[in-house]
Structure formats: structure tokens, C-alpha cells
């Protein structure tokens, strides 16, 4: 999604809190609508996502993937409809247990280590525990040797790896990623995929937007295919890739241009 101001009612982002990855509960969406100037950008009648799977969100440009992520994270307030996680309506309480990684990493003007220390501070961990967790994450994303370097001097791929490490620092129940590896070097993309898979194995629900078919095949348990703001289909990954049921997904997978 290109960077632009969002004129919709935006919910104030809440900082994530440290807690164990207790089951987040299934994501349920009902009659979800987002409209602006009389134009419907999102219209999803019903969708339920398993709380333990890696859900890949695909669809052509402008299908509504980024808006969907922001709506289920509670960063955008829908014009109508419902989003809930388990029994809890989407809002500050659910958002505080989730992390969102954007296509363009947003980092603090601190050192690499300082970016992670910042989110871990005041979360009930001892200094030693904080350092241990931070260094393990930095090692996982190949940045331990650059701990003291200013984050702004990292390459694009390194910055995104740091953004992911920071998102994982509080062990979110839900990890939302908006094309995190678009235009990254293969080594960074691989590290990001592996870290996401590890987080999933540890119990984090993952919702991952990508245009990369290879990546989708590697990661997906299930695929949500969005088209013109609606869900064209939602199926288990194997079924989706072996024969999508919607015309739009079939065209997309065959490399045809889908409008």
C-alpha cells in the first residue's frame, strides 16, 4: 500500500504489552464495511480465521489487503460491521497483544539494540532477561554483530529484519505483516520467513499479506483471496493452489492481470 494519509477514523495505536502467547481466539469478521465518500472499499460479509494458522492474504493491487489488516488490528474503525478475536471485540485490548509490521520499516532513531530495548522496558522483565531476549532475537535475524550501530544506517533488508525482531520482542499473540519482504534481498526475505514460521510454531497467529506466490506457497496454511474489497475465497492452502474456486484467483494464479 503506498504511503498516504488515512482520512478514516483511526484508532490510537496502543503499545503492545508483554504476555504469554495464550490462544488469541479465532478472528471473526461479520458484515465488515469501510466506505469513504460513498465508495465502498471493504465489504466482507463473513470470514473466520483459525487462531493457530499462518493465513496468507493475497489479491491484486487495490484489492483491500492493507485496509483489511488495519481493520482487523483495530487501526481503522469500520463504517459498519464486526471484528472480534475469540470472544473479544477488536479494540485496544486485542491490539495490545498484537504486532503489525509494515512494508516500509518504521524504526526509532536509536541503536539497533536500543530499538528492541525500548519496547521491552517496563514490561516486568529483569535487565538480564531483557538483554537475553533482545540478543536472541538479534541473533535470529542476523543483526547481533550490529547491535550498537544506529538503526538508520542499516540496509533496507536489515531494517526490516530489525522491525520484525522488535515486533516479536513482546511475543505477540497475533503477528500481522503487510508485504514485509517486498523488494528485499533474498537472504533477508528468508530470515524473515524463518522467523515468522518460528513464531507460528510458538503459538503466534500470523496474517501475512504478500504478492509473492512462492512465498505464499512456502508459508500458507490457508489463503484469503481478496478482490475488490471482498473475500473472493478463503480455503486451505493446498486446495487453493491446486485449484482456486473463484475466477479472480484463477486468473491471478495464472499470471493474468486482474482488475
Ligand X SMILES: Nc1ncnc2c1ncn2[C@@H]1O[C@H](COP(=O)(O)OP(=O)(O)OP(=O)(O)O)[C@@H](O)[C@H]1O
Among 10, 17, 22, 36, binds ligand X (CB under 6 A): 36
| Interaction between residue 215 and ligand X (CB under 6 A) | no
Q: Which residues in 43-62 contact ligand X (CB under 6 A)?
A: 59, 61-62
Q: Which is nearer to ligand X, 63 or 231 (CB)?
A: 63
| Interaction between residue 64 and ligand X (CB under 6 A) | yes
| Interaction between residue 38 and ligand X (CB under 6 A) | no
Q: Residues touching ligand X: how many (CB under 6 A)?
A: 13
Q: Which is nearer to ligand X, 43 or 157 (CB)?
A: 43
**The 3-state secondary structure of the chain, one letter per residue:** CCCCCCCCCECCCCCCCCCCCCCCCCEEEEEEEEEECCEEEEEEEEEEECCCCEEEEECCCCCCHHHHHHHHHCCECCCEEEEEECCEECCHHHHCCEEEECCCCCCCCCEHHHHHHHHHCCCCCCHHHHHHHHHHHHHHCCCHHHCCCEHHHCCHHHHHHHHHHHHHCCCCCEEEEECCCCCCCHHHHHHHHHHHHHHHHCCCEEEEECCCHHHHHHHCCEEEEEECCEEEEEEEHHHHHHCCCCHHHHHHHCCCCCC
**CB 1, min distance to ligand X, A:** 3
| Interaction between residue 228 and ligand X (CB under 6 A) | no
Among 27, 32, 54, 67, binds ligand X (CB under 6 A): 67
**Footprint of ligand X on this chain (CB under 6 A)?**
1, 6-7, 36, 41, 59, 61-67
Amino acid at each position: 500500500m503506498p504511503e498516504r494519509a488515512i482520512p478514516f477514523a483511526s484508532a490510537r495505536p496502543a503499545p503492545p504489552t508483554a504476555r504469554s502467547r495464550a490462544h488469541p481466539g479465532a478472528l471473526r469478521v461479520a458484515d465488515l464495511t469501510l466506505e469513504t465518500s460513498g465508495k465502498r472499499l471493504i465489504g466482507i460479509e463473513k470470514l473466520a480465521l483459525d487462531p493457530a494458522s499462518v493465513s496468507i492474504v493475497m489479491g491484486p493491487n487495490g484489492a483491500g489487503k492493507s485496509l483489511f489488516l488495519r481493520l482487523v488490528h483495530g487501526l481503522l474503525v469500520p463504517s459498519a460491521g464486526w471484528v472480534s478475536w475469540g470472544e473479544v471485540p477488536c479494540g485496544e485490548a486485542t491490539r495490545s497483544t498484537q504486532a503489525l509490521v509494515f512494508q516500509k520499516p518504521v524504526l526509532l532513531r536509536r541503536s539497533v539494540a536500543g530499538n528492541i530495548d525500548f519496547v521491552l522496558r517496563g514490561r516486568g522483565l529483569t535487565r538480564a532477561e531483557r538483554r537475553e531476549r533482545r540478543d536472541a532475537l538479534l541473533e535470529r535475524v542476523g543483526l547481533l554483530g550490529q547491535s550498537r550501530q544506529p538503526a538508520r544506517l542499516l540496509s533496507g533488508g536489515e531494517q526490516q529484519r530489525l522491525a520484525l525482531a522488535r515486533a516479536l520482542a513482546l511475543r505477540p499473540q497475533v503477528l500481522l505483516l503487510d508485504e514485509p519482504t517486498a523488494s528485499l534481498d533474498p537472504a533477508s526475505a528468508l530470515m524473515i520467513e524463518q522467523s515468522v514460521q518460528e513464531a507460528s510454531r510458538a503459538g503466534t497467529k500470523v496474517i501475512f499479506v504478500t504478492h509473492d506466490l512462492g512465498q505464499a506457497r512456502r508459508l500458507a496454511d490457508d489463503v484469503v483471496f481478496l478482490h475488490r474489497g471482498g473475500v473472493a475465497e478463503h480455503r486451505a492452502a493446498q486446495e487453493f493452489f491446486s485449484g482456486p474456486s473463484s475466477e479472480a484467483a484463477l486468473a491471478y494464479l495464472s499470471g493474468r492481470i486482474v482488475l
